[in-house]
Each structure stands twice: as C-alpha cells, then as structure tokens.
Structure 1
Amino acid sequence: MSQPSLVTKDLTIRFGGHVAVDRVSCAFRPGELTAIVGPNGAGKTTYFNLISGQLSPTAGRVELLGQDITRFTVSARTHAGLGRAFQLTNLFPRLTVLENVRLVVQARARRGFNLFTMAQSHRDLTEQAAQVLEQVRLTHLADQTVSALSHGDQRKLEVAALIALKPKVFMFDEPTAGMSVEEAPVILDLIAGIKADPEATVLLVEHKMDVIRSLADRIMVLHNGALVADGAPAEVMASDIVQEAYLGKELTDV
C-alpha cells in the first residue's frame, strides 16, 4: 500500500460549546478518490476548511506529503501541493478565461502578477494555460470574459484552474452543485480524468449518490462532526447505520 499523501490526526474544531469536527483521523492515498458524505450539518465542509486552511483547528493536525501543515496559510498549503475547488466559483469575473488560468500557472511558477507583460515575457506560461483549456474543452471560450460564462462553464474553468495548479491532493466541494443535467457529466468526466492519475489523491464532498457510485473508491461518513463509517463503497452503502441514520432513503432510491 502506498504512503498517504494527506493525513488528519484527531482533527477537531469547536465553535463555543459546539464541536463541529470531532477528532477525525484519516489517511488519503495517491490513486484513490474518497467521497465524504453525511447529512446537512455533519461537518463535511468544515472538515474541508480545516484541511485547506480556511479554518484553524482547536486540536489535532494536518499532514501533507509527510509535512505538518497545520499552521500553514492557505497559499502556503497551495504551494505545498494542496488544491481545492470551492462549492461557489472563485474566479476573476472581469478577466478572460485564458487570463484566469494563466494567472494560476504564473502563480505556480512564482513569477509575479503582471498581466500586461506576460504575453511577451512568459509565452511558455500562456502555452501551458492554453493546454489546460484544451484539456477541459474551453479553448473556444479562451477570450470570453468570465462574467459572461454560463454557470456550467464557470465550474469547468474552476476545475481548469485547479488542474493548472498541479497539486498532489485535489479537493472538490459539491462540484456539480447548481448545474444542469446536461452540464454535470462534463465536470464528472474531468474529475474521473484526474482520478485516473495514479499520483493524484482526490477528496470529494458530494450529496448525489449516483455521482458517488460512479467515482468513489472509498466513502467516509461524518455525523455530528465524527467519523462513523469509512471503507469501500459497497461495504459502507450496505451498512444499516449509514442507510437508516446518515444517508437516508436517498441511498436506495437513486
């Protein structure tokens, strides 16, 4: 078994008297997509926020590639190899599609942020950005302003930005939220392509059981901030406690 790329050890956060994430310990490995599920308020997004640095834990730690990153800033975690796509798009609406991805490529290369000189001095970065757009099938929209894109295309662009970061760990928080039936499969295909990389570790928060069935190698179930089930999808889905108390009838209805 490969060494874990990401580990959480007794990760905990309290808001006043409320324990939102309660001593969650897990290891995530390359070549594996883990779906994190549970009812609303279970602590899924809070757990994601602790891993990616939006929140600081009350106790416990986060390790990335064997390094303790618990006190790292969000940007430091990004440079260390952790990438996250948000439930709500996090893009530059007044820039073009290509400029958005080019900024990510440039940030990864640590070459500063001057959009007006990049075309001349950083042609290689522009070419890399164009390659990513081709990968996510957005080349035809390269010169389109992001604010003019459909919701589905904005989500594709967000995945493109994440791919451009070349992280070791990819984190997706409900990637198909708000998308039409026609748009969602494109995003799922992109995630499946990332999952196919044996060096990529993928974490996915998702409510849709059909999505989980199609993508997950493993399922973690959180309830009241605690980890209550963790294992192969068939095993977790067959668990009475998960079906009845945590995932409800949706599991068998989908």
Structure 2
Amino acid sequence: MSTPSLITRDLTIRFGGHVAVNQVSCAFHPGELTVIVGPNGAGKTTYFNLISGQLTATSGKVLKGEVDLTRMPPSARARQGVGRAFQLTNLFPQLSVLENIRLAVQAREGDGWRLLRPVYRFTKLTQDAEHYLEATRLSRVAHLPAAALPHGDQRKLEVALLMAMEPDIYMFDEPTAGMSLDHAPDVLELIAQIKSDPSKTVLLVEHKMDVVRALADRIIVLHNGELLADGAPTEVMESQIVRDVYLGTATEETA
C-alpha cells in the first residue's frame, strides 16, 4: 500500500451539544477513489467541509503528507493541492467558459491580478485553459457565458476548473446531483479519467448506488457522525450492519 496522501485523525466537530462528526480517522491513498456514503444527516458533507476547510474541527487533525491542514482556510488548502467541487455549481456566471478556466490557471500559477505582464503570458494562460476545455469537451461553448450553459455543462465546467488547478486531492460532493440522465455519464467519465491517474486521490460523496458501483475502489460509511464501515465495495455493501443502518434489505431500492 502506498503512503497516504491524506489523513484525518480523530476528526471531530461539535455544534453546541451536537457532535456532527465524531473522531473519524481515515487514510486516503493515491490512485484510489473512495466513496463516502450514509443516510441523511450522517455527517458526510460535514466531514467533507472539515477536510476542505469550510469548517474548522473542534478537535483532531487533517494531514496532507507532513503538512497539518487543520487550521488552514480553504484557500491555503487549495494551494496545498486539495481541490473541492460543490453540490451546487460555483462559477463566475457572467464570464465566458474560457475565462473561467483561464482564471483557474492564473490562480494556480500565482499570477494574481497584475495588470502589467508580458503579452506572451496571456497567450500561455489561454493555451493552458484551452487544454482543459478540450479535455472536458467544452471547446464548442468556450465563448459562451457560464450562466448560459445547461446544468450538465456547468458541472463539467466545474470539473474543468478543478483540473486546471492541478490538485493532488479531488473532492466531489454529489457530482451528478440535479443532472439529466443524458449529461451524468459525461461527468462520471471525467471523474473516471482523473481516477486513472495513479498520482491522484479522489473522494466522492454520493448516494446513487449505480454511481458508487461504477467508480468506487473503496467505500466508507458514516452514521450519526461516526465511521461505521470502511472497505472494498462488495464487502461493505454486503455487511449486515450497513444494510440495517443505510442500505436496507434490498440494495437496489436505494439507488
């Protein structure tokens, strides 16, 4: 087994007297796609928010290699290679698709907002952005404003923005939520491409069992904020305690 790329150690958050995530310890590895499942209110998105920095842990740690991310804001975690896509699209709606991606490339390279720079820098940024347009099959809509895209293409654009940041850790929160049956396979194919890179670690919150089966190398199950199960998909889905708490007696009925 490879050295973990990301570790949560006894990760906990309390809201008043409520413990939303309770001492969750997990190690995630390069080349592995882990799906996080559980019933509503299990703590899945809260756990994601603790890893990506939208929430700060009450106790415990988030570690990326030797780097302690626990008290870092989301922007600092992004610079450390933790990339996050949200359940709701998070784009610059009035900018074109190309401009959205170019800003992500610009942020990755640390160019900031300097107004005076050699003209070739703009060319290079645009060429890099066009590469991600091609990779996500969005070249045909490059000059449309992001707000004009159908929901499926907006989700693809969000994946393109993540790819343009070139993170080591990819985090997707229900990536096919609200998508039509026609568009969902495109986003899942992009995630599968990312997963195929042995240097990348992918974490996915998902409740659609067909998506889980198609992509998961590993499943972890949260229940009442605690880690209930962790293992290979078949092993976890056949576990009686998981069936009782989350899947029910008939797996297919929850898909």
What TM-score results when the alignment is normalised by the length of structure 1?
A: 0.97
SS in 2 for 1:104: helix
Q: Which residue does 2:225 correspond to in 1?
A: 225
C-alpha spacing 1:222/1:175, structure 2 compared with 1 (3 Å): same
Find the residue that maps to 2:180 and give its secondary structure: coil
CA deviation digits over 1:2-26, x for unaligned, max 9?
Answer: 0000000000000011000000000
**Corresponding residue of 1:190:** 190
1:160 and 2:142 aligned: no
Task: For residue 111 of structure 1, report the CA deviation from its aligned partner.
Answer: 0.3
Question: Does 94-103 or 111-120 show the bigger shift?
Answer: 111-120
SS at match of 1:207: coil
2:101 counterpart of 1:96: no
* Match in the other structure for 2:205: 205
Q: Are the structure 2 counterparts of residues 116 and 172 from structure 1 closer, same or farther at C-alpha, using a change threshold of 3 Å?
A: farther
Aligned mates of 2:55, 2:236 — CA distance in 1: 28
Q: Which residue of 1 aligns with 2:169?
A: 169
User: Is the alpha carbon distance of 1:96 and 1:59 closer, same or farther for their aligned partners in structure 2, counting shifts above 3 Å?
Assistant: same
* C-alpha displacement of 1:243: 1.1
For the structure 1 residues 114 and 145, does the alpha-carbon distance in structure 2 shift closer, same or farther, using more than 3 Å as the test?
Answer: farther
Instruction: Mark the runs of 5 or more structure 1 residues left unpaired by the alignment.
Output: none
CA shift, 1:66, in A, is 2.2
SS in 2 for 1:10: strand
- The equivalent of 2:129 in structure 1 is 129
SS of structure 2 residue aligned to 1:122: helix
| Structure-2 change in CA distance of 1:121 and 1:63 (3 Å) | same
Distance 2:186 2:56 in 1: 34
Q: CA-to-partner distance for each residue in 1:14-46, whole Å, 9 max, x for gaps?
A: 001100000000000000000000000000000
- Measured after TM superposition, the shift of residue 121 of structure 1 is 3.4
Q: Confirm or deny: 8 A CA contact 1:38 1:223 kept in the other structure.
A: yes
CA distance 1:116–1:151, change in 2 (3 Å) = farther
Q: Tell me: CA distance 1:225–1:189, structure 2 relative to 1, closer, same or farther (3 Å).
A: same
Verify the 8 A CA contact 1:5 1:66 in the aligned structure 2.
Answer: no
* Matched residue, 1:236: 236
Deviations 1:60-118 (A, max 9, x none): 00001221110111111001010000000000000000000000000000001368979
* Equivalent position SS for 2:188: helix
The residue aligned with 1:216 is 216
Residues in 1 aligned to 2:183 and 2:191: alpha-carbon distance in whole angstroms: 13
CA RMSD of aligned residues (A): 1.5
Which TM-score applies when normalising by structure 2? 0.96
Give the Å deviation of 1:244.
1.8
Change (3 A) 1:119 1:39: farther
Q: CA deviation at 1:239?
A: 0.3
Q: Which runs of 5+ in 2 are unaligned?
A: none
For the residues of structure 2 that align with 1:22 and 1:192, how far apart are their CA atoms?
A: 31
Q: Give the structure 2 partner of residue 47 of structure 1.
A: 47
**How many residues are matched?**
254
Deviation, 1:249, is 4.9
Report the 3-state secondary structure (helix = DSSP H, G, I; strand = E; otherwise coil) of the residue aligned with 1:219: strand
Structure 1 stretches of 4+ with a deviation exceeding 3 A read: 114-121
* Partner residue in 1 for 2:59: 59
